[in-house]
Amino acid sequence: MLQKKICMVGMFGTGKTCLVQRYVHSLFSVKYLTTVGVKIDRREVQASGQPVMLMLWDLEGRDDTRDINTSYLKGAHGVLYVVDGTRRDTFDKMFEIRDLVTRTIGNVASVVALNKSDLTEQWQLKPADERRLADKGCFSLLTSAKSGVGVEAAFQRLADTIVAPTGAQR
């Protein structure tokens, strides 16, 4: 079976671990648990008509991009950038993180998860922010690990893009 490494990256507390937990175990944890190093999970999906094992590397969140251990990124086929939509700084920092990832492993398949979309009253992102992402060639979607909204779609989009025939849109 094809095996593809996906790295979850983003600032501290954006909900990377919760997204993986929702996607792999259909659970939502209300208790905040800090990831130290990398936690690895996996899930089998169908992409382009074939089974693919997604190896999900949940990287510890770092507020300073310089603290990200780039050796964890090596060999990744795709990246899920996770932004906390209730914290504007996590959106702005995402572009810096993306530059670092691109410098390290090149332009691999990616999706931006605008997470915690269930927290509508605290939401700080505007439609213009999503347009900015699109202008920069980033595919983004609203996600909520709590409700499950967008979670399947985010990982499925990554899987489809990774195994798409050569020449297909990334």
Partner 1 sequence: MTESAVGATVEAFGLTDRGLVRDGNEDHFIIAHVNKTIDVRQTSMSSRAMPQEFSGVAGYLLAVADGVGGGPQGELASERTLSALLSYVGKAATCFQGLDADAEHELMDKLEAVVHGVHAELLAEYGGVTSRLPATTLTLVLLVWPRAYHVQVGDSRAYVRRGGRLQRLTRDQNLGEFMVSLGAWTDDQARMASTAETLSSAIGGSELEPVVGLIDLAPGDSLMLCTDGLTKHVSDEEIAGALAKPQSAEETSRKLVSDALAAGGTDNVTVIVVRTTPT
The distance of closest approach from Cβ of residue 55 to partner 1 in the complex, given in angstroms and rounded to an integer, is 5
**Contact between 114 and 125 (Cβ < 8 Å):** yes
Which of 138, 121, 69, 56 lies closest to 100 in space, CA to CA? 69
Q: How far is the CB of 69 from partner 1 (least distance, A)?
A: 6
Contact 82, 154 (CB under 8 A): no
- Rounded CA separation 88/3 (Å): 34
Question: In the complex, what is the shortest distance from the CB of residue 25 to partner 1, in angstroms, rounded to a whole number?
Answer: 9
The contact mask relative to partner 1 for 33-72 (x = CB under 8 A, - = no) is xx-xxxxxx-------------x-------------x-xx
State the pairing for strand pair 78-84/140-142. unpaired
Q: Please report whether residue 5 would count as binding partner 1 according to CB under 8 A.
A: yes
Residues that bind partner 1 (CB under 8 A): 3, 5, 27-31, 33-34, 36-41, 55, 69, 71-72, 74-76
